[in-house]
Structure 1
């Protein structure tokens, strides 16, 4: 969605605006074809709704109201002499000015089709870098302001504004239209959309930088957008798997930190604090999806998360089943993080020595050789073997390499306890 202005408003109205905004933006982009101008116009329509609806009531057709107001705002921009001087070249290449102005007297809402999926495809266009895709998706579809996105990713607002602006210019230069691709290209682009939403959720669940372990607004937004995508493509098994994975993972968030914000490992978490409603929803979703026979990586990761979540306590975890699922997951292509997680499952089934041999093979993989999680996993396995000093050294090296303050404190604390058990 277009970022909704931060003005006090009843939650029901705000929720409605968040739901309708991508549909309205999609309708305008399809109708007029100029992404950045349409976004500005929809932003103004949302501001008008925030100011008017709480006092005057929600219109009978709120979507039509927003489309009509946004269309008028857009036409007003074009009629302005100053706007014409700035934008006539862009408009000429996108849609004839006369055709655009002809809509001034047309108060009928645009087509009732929901272009939210097409808008997601557009924001995740191959012409954009991964960070730009994430930023544009959160802005245009997710409803976060530039300031909110910048705060979530710990960068200056001006930096994020430039990133979003460059993304819009790249979309404009690519000549991309608001039309979902077909065939093999559609499947490839849908995979890109899923990946962007996965990155959004992961950044919220465990932030890569800063003083906090999580950024809940990002993980919550990742789930909301994935729910939207699942609604738009209900028969896509991997989208269902991604949603289940997010739900099953986010269910543990309340127990991931202690009273002082310290990291609490999965095995030590108070499972009574987990969100069992999310667990039930995630388990039900993946249970209905897996039997379809179109198994993919997100579904397998969701199944692994479900095994963890269904265990009443850490010792009850079905590690042989988790190892079998990781074996299947690795068939979709080698990935160092998958191999690292599989090594932990191997340790729980076959012992830490066998797992250390697997971890050693990752030292040559440039994608993970310098990553703190490689050292942290090695430290954990060495600790299981009773090699306390070697484990402490590995924990300290992992702490040195992480950019997350909570993780650094946790890893340093583990090293300290091994060196001074008393």
Structure 2
């Protein structure tokens, strides 16, 4: 129960409420146990002696466990340091392999709401000759299949072929679920390699690599109750992929480096438990999410959902994602006020190195305003309770007016 203690921890005054599970979620006891047990083993999994073989066996058992949970074959599981490396390997390595085999395969299609671990490698490819097409979502935050089709056709009309299509399964900021299987079918019909960042989707949503039609799919352990520092790229055996890290030929030659057996074992335990508990956990999170949304909207403070919200659904939105747009206040001031009230939330992705700035996702779905526009992302997880949700609603009722008052005062101060 150590994870529960650490995320309803007591500080000064009342216990704090952790509602930033999309950034990282507490480790599940099974992952903690696997990490501790495997950390006691000595041996490099590439060594041929008895200790090495023992650690190698643990790695391969973990590989099989992850494959079974995510609808993949064990040989399709490539271990990485996390979701960011998996995305980079898919985008950069997938493109390099295609274009080296076919110089006309220069087209890259992705969306404007992707994680920066996809967007920045794609933009880097454009600087060295890729024909990059960025597809904007609907105001709801969903990327239309027809918009992807149009981008593919524009690449072909320019005389190139499509090398790579990457569309995230679910958005990490606003929680919208994307039509990944439909886009995969469309892109593979044109011979493109198809990737999806499923870091937020694997676990809470029914994700099957085999049934998705994807060639490549990224997963991160610490979003699922495992440790930070380990992730997976699922890669079909026949899909061409060039490594980013060389020097030993580990992981089918796609990712060299000594395998962190303890992290891998903990990752496998977390992935398996997240999938096994989905049938009961996802409806529980949906109910909590809807309770939070309803409570917030009932405050009549002019806050709205960023992206589509259909009560009771985990089809169009992640079950634990509540993304609020709050006109009239600065996002950082609202976040600090919530933190002072004991509510730990975020303004969006935690992967921008702590640097505040305008969200590219909000720009993409058209969230603008003449004055300040605040956002707060409250993401729920295994440790979240109804009492946590009710405390968050009460805190917003107090903090939003105060944040707006502060913004008004700031606006009235002469420069």
> Normalising TM by the smaller chain, what interval?
under 0.3
Structure whose residues are more often strand by fraction:
2
Structure whose residues are more often helix by fraction:
1
Larger radius of gyration: 1
**How does the TM-score come out when normalised to structure 1?**
0.25
